[in-house]
Structure formats: C-alpha cells, structure tokens
Structure 1
C-alpha cells in the first residue's frame, strides 16, 4: 500500500508564501505574525499588506483585519474570500524579491 502521495514538488519561497497565505486566510484565526515570520522573516505582515491602498480598502470595508494578532478575514470577509485573495496574492507578488533567500 502506498501513502497517497505520488510525488513531492519542491516549492519556491514565493510559492510557499502563497500557500501559507491562501490556507491561513481560510481559517477563522488567519495568519499570526509568528507563523508568517517562520516563512518570511525579512518582512512582517504589516510591511507586505498594511501599506497597500487595495488592502487598506478591504480593511476599511471590514473584510480584513490586520492587528497585533495577525492578518485574518472578518466573518463577512470569509464569505467573500474568493474575491479578497487575488488582492492579497497580488500584494505578495509585488514583494517577491524581499521574500527570496539572501544571496551570499
């Protein structure tokens, strides 16, 4: 018997951060600052998402919450998650160079 996994695909750092973002935002608790730091210690959630005009609109509209606990959707935001995620993913893509491993 197998273990259900055909093959493993090594994700790049940006791909991994996208997975962390998408999976984390599907949970009521969202993504904590500590959890995000494990994957991207170079930038915190406020630096990646807090300075974006498009994310600010989602925060002010009540779909997103970015505070000392981390980044998460409000209950209304969870219902609209499929329309919120593209904005967050676009912001993450815009910061891709800062989430790359430092070259020596």
Structure 2
C-alpha cells in the first residue's frame, strides 16, 4: 500500500505512552529503536509523536527481535525497503504511472 500523507495512518499524533501500551514495548525500548534509526517520530518541545504506521513498524521490529534478528539487520531491511519505494516513486513520476 502506498503512503498517503493525508491518511490517518501516517499522522503523527500518538504519544509514546500510548504507543507503549499498544505495542507492549517499554518507552525505553521505543526510544532505543529511535536511536538505532528504526523509527522516526516527530519531535516538538521534547515530545515524541507517532503514527499508526509507526506502531505497526514497532510491532514488526519487536517480532523480529524476538526471533533474534539484530537491529543492524532490521535497519538494512528498512533501508532496502525505503530505497525500493523511492525508486518506484521516481519511476512512476518519470513515466507518469500510478502506484
């Protein structure tokens, strides 16, 4: 599914406390995944805000960590996914294709 900036799933409105409750991860774990560049919350005045897409990503990260996948490997996978999406977007724009 392609990202729609105006879709509710991508709006950064959820506090870290709520994300912690939704995912079962501690706030410390969530901040650690941010430090490892696996998640990118919006920050204003020291407050982190997450989207539902971020919540899904954190749950996926937690599942992979339970399976023993190191954070470096998760980061490599994320980087690969982002590159593929960017390339697809560039190709779609160049050829005026719809996603």
Q: TM-score, normalized by length of structure 1?
A: 0.23
Structure of higher RCO (CA pairs closer than 8 Å, 6+ residues apart) = 1
Normalized per residue, the structure richer in helix is 2
